Amino acid sequence: MLKLAGCLIVKDDSELIPLSKAVNSIAPYMDGVFITSTGKEVSMIRVYCEKNNLHYSHKDWTKDFSATRNFNFDQAVAHDSYDYLIWIDCDDLLIGGQYLRKVAEDAKTNH
């Protein structure tokens, strides 16, 4: 079966509300959701991840967004074998997620 991982980066607890909206838009369609925080005040994000069965990691901000994104992706890759990693920003909403698995399956079949 095709496996999809949702990947998001969040700064700190000040972004918890948009993060929760983003997660709610993507989680129903994912086999795993991976959150990486970069800030110092992240206790509420940790609790949120624990309560919602999300994979949490932390990487100190180094002013290199691509390094942080790759670290976030590495968490998913190290945890399990996923066919696709789906990236959204923590203030984005996934619209049409119900079609995502079919699109991914078609992409894998026609690759």
pLDDT 10s digits, 35-72: 999 999 999 999 999 999 999 999 999 999 999 999 99
Query: What's the burial of 50, exposed, middle or buried (CB within 10 Å: 0-12/13-18/19+)?
Result: exposed
pTM of the predicted model as reported, rounded to 2 decimal places? 0.94
Band of pLDDT at residue 1, cut at 50, 70 and 90: confident
- What share of the chain has pLDDT > 70, as a percent? 100
Number of domains the chain contains:
1
pLDDT at residue 62, rounded to an integer:
94
Mean pLDDT of 66-82: 93
Beta strands in the chain (DSSP E): 4-10, 32-37, 55-58, 84-87
Domain carrying residue 98: 4-109
Could you read off the pLDDT of 47-57 as tens digits, one per residue? Answer: 999 999 999 99
CATH no. for residue 80?
3.90.550.10
Residue 76, Cβ density class (10 Å: 0-12 exposed, 13-18 middle, ≥19 buried): buried
